[in-house]
Amino acid sequence: MKRKKRIPVRWDQPGLHYDMEGLHYDQEFIEIEIDMIQIVLDLKNRSDTEVIQDVKDAAKALTEHAADFTGIDPSAADLTAAAGVFGDVLSANNTLQQAATNSTKTKNDARAVLEGTIMAAAAWTVANVTDATKAGNVWTLKHDRTATTSIDKVGNLQASFGDEPGDIHLAWNPPDKAQGYEIECKLAGGTWQHARSVGRKSNTDIHGLQSGQVYQFRVRALGPNDLQGPWSDIAEHMVP
């Protein structure tokens, strides 16, 4: 890229001719074309921390070479201040994400204790109560069923923060006859992609997602003889 620059000249200086190509003259100045410098700022491919450091480095260099950049706007002080403001915002955001992660882990741990308690009570019943009618007053009992020809839709799909950054925890109400589940996910407006398949349990974690992005999830039940149930309603959540 080029730009024009006006420089004062003496018309009697040696080697100067009025008919030189590209030379325009008036009473006191001539115009010449000079190459413009080009600065590379690859900000889109830099992390938040890297951009902060880039700005701080530029501010430091401007301070050290202030005589060459008199009147620059924004100034070195402006750059330093902007880096400080964004650094504070980034730190606060990281703190909130860590708090959300810790809260989710506490919830999951409490859920595990709760599930362990009811499973222990059910196991005691199996070991000590032989009357199915009495057991059925408290528990849902398994009965022999006819051949499975269809599977109901998975109900109440819920998404929440996982234990680690990039993780989402999913849980749902299992339909009868389900022997496993298929999970798909996508970014909002994207294409559905297979996330994972699980067995009979009605919850799982999806790993390796892009932190800060909003994902959508759906689940369907799988049964005997390659039966597939309908897809669940969509659950949506931001990835920590």
pTM here is 0.40
Mean pLDDT of 54-62: 89
Residues 53 and 114 in one domain: yes
Does residue 133 register a pLDDT over 50? yes
56: left (phi over 0), alpha (psi -120 to 50) or beta: alpha
Residues 130 and 154 in one domain: no
Residues 11 and 89 in one domain: no
Instruction: Provide the 10 A C-beta neighbour count for residue 139.
Output: 15
Q: At which of 136, 160, 187 does a domain end? A: 136
CATH number at residue 166: 2.60.40.10
State how many domains the chain has: 3
Does residue 88 register a pLDDT over 80? yes
The pLDDT score that the predictor gives to residue 147 is 53
pLDDT digits (tens, 9 = 90+) for 67-80: 888 888 899 899 99
3-state helix, strand, coil in the chain (%, to 5): 35, 25, 40
Mean pLDDT of the chain: 83
Q: Taking the CA atoms of 5, 11, 15 and 19 in sequence, report the sign of the dihedral they define.
A: positive
The pLDDT score that the predictor gives to residue 25 is 46
On whether residue 14 sits in a domain, the answer given is yes
Q: What percent of the chain has pLDDT over 90?
A: 32
Least confident among 27-31, 59-63, 139-143, 176-180: 27-31
Of the pLDDT bands very low, low, confident and very high (cuts 50, 70, 90), residue 137 is: confident
On whether residue 145 sits in a domain, the answer given is no
Does residue 119 register a pLDDT over 50? yes
Residues 155 and 219 in one domain: yes
Q: For residue 111, what are the domain limits?
A: 47-67+74-136
Q: What residue type is 131 in one-letter code?
A: D
